[in-house]
Amino acid sequence: MITLTIDDQKVEVPEGTTVLNAARKAGIHIPTLCDHPHLKPYGGCRLCMVEIEGFRTLQASCTIPATNNMVVRTTSDQIRKARKFVLTLIFSERNHFCPYCQVSGSDCELQNAAYGEGMTHWPLQPNWQPYPVDASHPYFILEHNRCILCRRCIRACSELVGANTLGVEERGAKTFVIADLNVPLGESSCVSCGMCVQVCPTGALIDRRSAYRGQNTTVDHLQTICAGCSVGCGLDILTRDQQLIRIDGNWDAPVNQGVTCKVGRFYPAFDDRERLKTPLVRKNGALQPVSWEEALMTAAQKIKAASGHGLAALASTRLPVESLHLFRQLFLDDLHSEMVTSTEEGSRTAILSRWAEKLGKPFEGKVERMHEAGAFLVMGADLVNEHEVLGFFIRRRFPEPIKLIVVDENENGLGDLAHCALTPQKKTQATLLRGLIAAVAKLGQNQVAFNGQPDEEVLKASSACGVASDLILEAAYQLTNSESPLIVYDPATIDDEIMQLLLDLSQTTGSALLSVKGGANALAAAQLGLDKPFKLNGSQVAYVAIGDEEPKEKFIQQLEKCSSLIVQASYHSRLTAMADVVLPVVNWLEQDGHYINLEGRMQTATQVLKPADSIWTNEAVLTALAEKLDVNLANDWESTLSKRPSPVSIAA
Amino acid sequence: MSKPKVASDWMAGCAGCHMSLLDMDERIAKIVELVDLRSTPITDLKHPDESGVDVGILEGGINNTSNEEVAKMMRKRCKILVALGDCAVFGGVPAMRNFFTIEETLRRAYVETESTDAEGKIPDDPELARPTRVRAVHEVVPVDIFVPGCPPDADTIFYVLSELAQGRKPVLKDDKLHWH
């Protein structure tokens, strides 16, 4: 620890702390623009200048490390003059006219900084050069006129997401934020995660849906969990008068630490599906609005009538654990239906549950490992199109000396970035893994005894799967020569043989394992036994609790064949159109509940928006339906979850 | 001591700042007690006294040669010049036209608008003021007090006028400082 004096106040901070952060610790405000607590110090805007005894000139407090016995002043006439001058130059450079800017009022950090310095006007007027507006992106607009070149967007794009789409061209006043080699954003390599919009201090990056609809002072902030995939990002939801305004990544969420992808940030606001508003029952061939009582009675009758004709039940993995548990109790434990499963169908989790049972203990690691792993082996997982945030977590580590090995029979989105891309011929993944294990032994790095001839095994694997032996050795070298290696895999692409080999490889290299699980509550569904492939098997009645999930075509095709279909859903879809009873339920923003993410973290979703009175929660519908069927449902989901061994340890 | 004389005028603005001034309601009576309100665009006397006033208030930016004259006359005849509102302080909404040439804006306004028929033409009477780039007041004449806001709140205007009437220089900060 070192001690410094800021404005006559003694502050103790760890070595390496910047003067700015030391001041913050002491509760002393220094205005900033380019600085962002989640980005590396940059020193671009020069607004945070301070006086340091012994220094000839003012220093940028955001980049200068505090040293022992340093004496710092944050307010003096010289400093205030410098700040005003910095702001004057920024205002003169482009067109920062407040009256017609969407962040004017409370959201603009530039305006707030000017107010903070008591600026009543601009000493230098702008030169009125119009700058282009890039409106080519579907979700946000890049308004160069409002840009102050702080590069927060560029730093977020690389430091937080690893996309490296944004950059600058030219120098000095001609500097310009560009995408790729200066192409329109909409045609660039942008992954649409929107982190740039989240960190922009001015109105230069505008979210299309939230612009002009409310500011920090007029919106409510509520935190919940994304139901988009099994990563379970924490989100900060901005609402106003029960309207969704915008979604940001929650900086305080342990899983994603502020980062999220387009699925969490933009999809909900751009969801144009039509909402179901009242219960519907099919009468004379057409769906008619009815009371809840009538709809539930009709549904109960159809379910009762199913005895003997078979009843199939399907629930979305976007539903909270509470709902999935009630669903399981009603249809599996009480009605004893043969087919009770989830929309994930155990496609990823079934094999994991099987191995958890076999091993009798969790065998996978935590997402945190992604932030420290020295090497990644990504096998079969498409982290570019699904579970995107995991892909960001790997890509953003690239400035560090990490190694990425990709093993995929198909083209993998991370393949181009990989230091070692292994593309085995179809159905030879197991052989390749055997080769890798042998290669580790050949390098003498195996942490588990190896029986056999490593040289021969590597060559055998090489010729069998069509991957050069040098490449296999290289991958083995990278994996074993790095701290805390991590294997990220997609269980949907493997069989028991490969699972065994992955476990062997992880043991012999000291790697942790982490797999994607699919839907937000796929793991919870697995723990509750809702993990069978969905087959109608001649059932005449089907109950589908699809929630706010968009029904997949393969389910619709199967369900067309049953004579009675009851759908519990938030939105109109082809599925609800062919249903006999439709029960309108909340969407993910309107519910409380629990979600278990891919690493077993039990997270709490919180109601952000109030649903219409005619719309019920999934739990309320299932409970009311159970009453009509004379079934009592218990609320012991937590103990039920832990009855089955899990591939990850489940805890809050 | 005689009451300080105050005059105001407007240029390239929307009159909204003067509306905001009236929005101080009954407090305007207090202001009139404190100051001798001379020429304003909303009273009979239109030009500040030749003998001079203590405080001159200008609303709006300067977008033509006529505005220039108004600003220069006010500057000459007042001791303290107040730029009232975003247009006077920054150029404001009218300054959006600075992103185009004057020819483009005139053609759009007088010829190309959807409601203009084939007869539309850009006025060219030599008696008319000549349009210029829209400028903040301080780009043409020195300004002593800047009161930004679109419009400034009635409370802010009341504060500024009452401070000036009592011989103090108003300092805009915190709640009173808004640019929009």
State the average pLDDT over residues A403-411. Answer: 96
Closest by Cβ to A98, choosing from B135, B136, B180 = B180
User: Is B125 inside any structural domain?
Assistant: no
Residue type, A612: A
Tens of pLDDT along A179-230?
999 999 999 999 999 999 999 999 999 999 999 999 888 999 999 999 999 9
Q: Which residue has the tokens 């061994």?
A: A645
User: Is B58 inside any structural domain?
Assistant: yes
Q: For residues A192, A195, A198 and A199, what is the CA-based torsion angle, rounded to 10 degrees?
A: -140
| Rounded alpha-carbon distances, angstroms, from residue A69 to A52, A269, A400, A406, A427 | 11, 51, 33, 50, 65
**Which residue in chain A has the smallest CA separation from B89?**
A121
Which residues in chain B touch residue A130, judged by CB atoms under 8 angstroms apart?
Answer: 99
Beta strands A220-225 and A234-240, pairing class = antiparallel
Other C-beta atoms closer than 10 Å to the C-beta of A13 total 20
State the average pLDDT over residues A45-72. Answer: 97
Closest by Cβ to B148, choosing from A100, A105, A120 = A120
CB contact (8 A) between residue A100 and residue B96: yes
Tens of pLDDT along A158-180?
999 999 999 999 999 899 999 99
User: Is B61 inside any structural domain?
Assistant: yes
Tell me, what CATH number does B48's domain have? Answer: 3.40.50.700
**CA separation for the pair A198, A334 (Å, rounded):** 48
User: Is B122 inside any structural domain?
Assistant: no
pTM exceeds 0.90 for this model: yes
A window 121-140, beta carbon within 8 A of B = 121-122, 125, 128, 130
Tens of pLDDT along A316-368?
999 999 999 999 999 999 999 989 999 999 999 999 999 999 999 999 999 99
| Residue A522 binned pLDDT confidence (cut-offs 50, 70, 90) | very high
Residue type, A134: D
| Residue B180 binned pLDDT confidence (cut-offs 50, 70, 90) | confident
Range with the lowest mean pLDDT among A88-92, A96-100, A499-503, B144-148?
A96-100
**What is residue B1's predicted lDDT score, i.e. its pLDDT?**
58
Structure tokens at A554: 């393969």
How many domains are there within chain B? 1
Q: How far is B148 from chain A (nearest CA, A)?
A: 6
| Residue A309 binned pLDDT confidence (cut-offs 50, 70, 90) | confident
Q: Which residue has the tokens 């909340």?
A: A586
User: Is B9 inside any structural domain?
Assistant: yes
Share of residues in chain A with pLDDT > 70 (%): 100
| Rounded alpha-carbon distances, angstroms, from residue A497 to A208, A428, A433, A436, A463 | 49, 11, 10, 15, 20
CB contact (8 A) between residue B177 and residue A122: no
**Which residue in chain A has the smallest CA separation from B179?**
A98
Full set of structural domains in chain A with CATH: 2-75 (3.10.20.740), 127-265 (3.30.70.20), 280-348+521-641 (3.40.50.740), 363-485+500-510 (3.40.228.10)
Tens of pLDDT along B42-79?
999 999 999 999 999 999 999 999 999 999 999 999 99
pLDDT mean across residues, chain A: 96
Closest by Cβ to A121, choosing from B90, B98, B173 = B90
Beta strands B62-64 and A512-515, pairing class = unpaired
**CA separation for the pair A471, A463 (Å, rounded):** 12
User: Is B108 inside any structural domain?
Assistant: no
Report CA Rg, chain A. 28
**What is residue A328's predicted lDDT score, i.e. its pLDDT?**
97
Closest by Cβ to A98, choosing from B133, B143, B179 = B179
**Which structural domain range is residue B13 located in?**
5-95+133-176
| Residue A100 binned pLDDT confidence (cut-offs 50, 70, 90) | confident
- Testing the interface with B: which of A103, A120, A124, A133 to mutate, by most B Cβ within 10 A? A120
Tens of pLDDT along B89-144?
999 999 999 999 999 999 999 999 999 998 899 999 999 999 999 999 999 999 99
State the average pLDDT over residues A97-122. Answer: 93
Q: How far is A119 from chain B (nearest CA, A)?
A: 8
Q: Is the complex ipTM higher than 0.90?
A: yes
User: Is B70 inside any structural domain?
Assistant: yes
**What is residue B84's predicted lDDT score, i.e. its pLDDT?**
98
Which residues in chain B touch residue A128, judged by CB atoms under 8 angstroms apart?
Answer: 95, 98-99, 133
CB contact (8 A) between residue B180 and residue A104: yes
User: Is B113 inside any structural domain?
Assistant: no
